[in-house]
Structure 1
Amino acid sequence: MNIVGKKVLLTGGSAGIGKALAFQLQAGGADVTVTGRNVQRLAELRTQGFGAIEADLSNAQGVDALIAEWGKKDLDILINNAGMGVETNYAEGKVDPDDADACFYANLSAPARLTGGLLRWLRKRPEASIVFVTSGLALAPSKDAAVYCATKAGLRSFAFSLRAQFKNEPVHVIEALPPMVDTQMTSAYDVSKMSPEHCAGDILDAIKRNKAEVHIGQTRLLRFVQGISPSLARRIMLNL
């Protein structure tokens, strides 16, 4: 896809991977609108030429408000990037059910509801792209993020089904699977992390090339191991 002049709606675009991707899309000639919850960050992005919509995507009301705010504007690319992480170790009693519900909604229900609500505008375009930012953890889960891993695996499955549904239409469904990226969500982890700019660059390349999937950084190795032995990939990620 040639992104010049394309209308883009990018959720979770005020920080991290989303913000880096927003600037790269804009530099490539796209007309980008981002969503987020931080009013100050959104105001700053408006001064830099972005459209910006305050949106809380952890509940149905927030998603529906975003759909209503978008209205009947043209839309070429929808990037479902917004998400949240939550620590859930049931064996140790580290579970807040409300946080878990919000994570399920933000990471899985919201992308599905938003896609459904905006699909009629995407289908009006000569070609369109729907991007889902999942995770390497959609391939094999980790031990201490049971709910987060489940949401990303569910979103990966949703992307597979949606891609099959649109196989005869010029609506490209793209899944991006990042590794650990240096963002606010991962700040507590003292491990090697990919820069948001590097990750965003790979996602943008996938959009331009209409790729079905893009495994980014170390996720490529995880995908290779999974292809050989899914059970081995799970054991590695679960430290079994």
Structure 2
Amino acid sequence: MDISGNTIFIPGSTSGIGLTLAVALHDRGNTVIVGGRRADLLERIAAEHPGIGTVQIDTADAASIEAAAKDVLARYPDLNVLVTMAGIMRVEDWHRPESFLASAEAVVTTNLLGTIRLIAAFVEHLRAQPDATIVTVSSGLAFAPLKATPSYNASKAAVHMLSESIRLQLADTSVKVVELEPPSVRTSLLPGQEDSEAAMPLDEFVAEVVELFETQPDAKEIQVERVKFLRYGEARGDYDQVVARLNASDPHGK
């Protein structure tokens, strides 16, 4: 993906990685639109970051995705990049189904179905662009499981394989598929994660991601150095040790 001159929609970007990435990409000369559920946050972003567009969207709601897509494409017909940023992470105890089932369903709906529905809403438009990119967002936990978050791990593993598969299907089009694989980053994804010394500082993560987009424009996976411990455990032959270390240290995954 070229690092400038794009029109980029990032649903799920009113805070954390999404918002920080949106601001960084806007600063690099892109037209950026952020999406989120809360109107008050969108209004604040518009006031604090002039030039960044906003649209209300609930990525857990199929009708909301459809309505937001129509709005975005009507206002930004040159849209050529979709970043499926929205995601939630929940701690679950699978000893008791009454304690995890609703949570698991919410995680899968947002992280996996949300990604699928977003791509479905925009892929026809993107195929009509001379150069377009879908950026999916998985996780280092797609490749090594954190015991406390089974549904999150599974949803992100599914996003990884979805990315691999649709990349093959869209190879005959102008649409590239790039998978962003964050490690644990200092955001509010889980309680306490913003202050976790074991998690990667947010600004540091986004700066490295932007650098990778710039220096590796044809990359299929965007991997900061810190995620490679999780990403390549199986290939290195130390998967069991990776999983043991992951689950013996920080509850947020690194």
The alignment's TM-score, normalised by the length of structure 1, stands at 0.91
CA contact (8 A) 1:74 1:122 kept: no
Mapping for residues 75-154 of structure 1, pairs under 5 Å:
75-91=79-95, 95-154=99-158
Output the CA distance in 2 between the equivalents of 1:202 and 1:83: 21
Q: Distance in 2 between matches of 1:78 and 1:159?
A: 13
Distance 1:195 1:236 in 2: 20
Letter in 2 for 1:113: R
- CA separation of 1:94 and 1:210: change in aligned 2, threshold 3 A: farther
Q: CA deviation at 1:57?
A: 1.0
CA distance in 1, matches of 2:227, 2:171: 26
| Equivalent runs, 1:144-183 vs 2, <5 Å | 144-183=148-187
Give the count of matched residue pairs: 239
Query: Residues 16 and 187 of structure 2 are in contact (CA less than 8 Å); yes or no, is this contact kept in structure 1?
Result: yes
Query: Could you say which residue in structure 2 is the equivalent of 1:2?
Result: 2
Q: Equivalent pairs: percent with the same residue?
A: 27
The Cα of 1:238 is off from its aligned counterpart by 4.9
Match in the other structure for 1:184: 188
Moved more, 93-102 or 135-144: 93-102
Following the alignment from structure 1 to structure 2, what is the Cα–Cα distance between the partners of residues 207 and 181? Answer: 18
State whether structure 2 residue 226 is matched by structure 1 residue 222.
Answer: no
Deviates more, 1:56-65 or 1:77-86: 56-65
The Cα of 1:5 is off from its aligned counterpart by 2.9
- Unaligned ranges ≥5, structure 2: 249-254
* Aligned partner letter, 2:108: F
Deviates further, 19-28 or 195-204: 195-204
2:32 alignment partner in structure 1 = 32
Alpha-carbon RMSD: 2.0
CA contact (8 A) 1:130 1:172 kept: yes
Deviation at 1:126, TM superposition (A): 1.3
Identify the residue that residue 57 of structure 1 maps to in structure 2: 59
Tell me the CA shift for residue 76 of structure 1. 0.9
Q: Shift in Å at residue 191 of structure 1?
A: 4.3
The correspondence for 1:66, drawn from 54, 57, 68, is: 68
Q: Distance in 2 between matches of 1:126 and 1:201?
A: 27
Q: Secondary structure at the match of 1:166?
A: helix
State the Cα deviation string for residues 112-140 of structure 1 (Å, max 9, x = none).
Answer: 11111111111111111110111100011
Residues 76, 122 of structure 1: 8 Å contact kept: yes
Match of 1:22 in 2: 22
CA deviation profile, 1:146-183 (whole Å, cap 9, x unmatched): 01111000000100001111223331111111111011
CA distance in 2, matches of 1:5, 1:44: 25
Q: Is the 8 A contact 2:92 2:103 kept in 1?
A: no
Are 1:179 and 1:217, in contact at CA under 8 Å, matched by a contact in 2? Answer: no
Q: Which amino acid aligns with 2:228?
A: R
Structure 1: which 5+ residue stretches go unaligned? none
Q: 1:234 Cα shift?
A: 4.1
- SS of the equivalent of 1:186 reads coil
1:57-86 Cα distance to aligned partner (Å, 9 max, x none): 113222222223224422111001111111
Alignment-derived partner of residue 210 in structure 1? 218
Change (3 A) 1:155 1:224: closer
| Structure 1 residue matching 2:2: 3-state secondary structure | coil
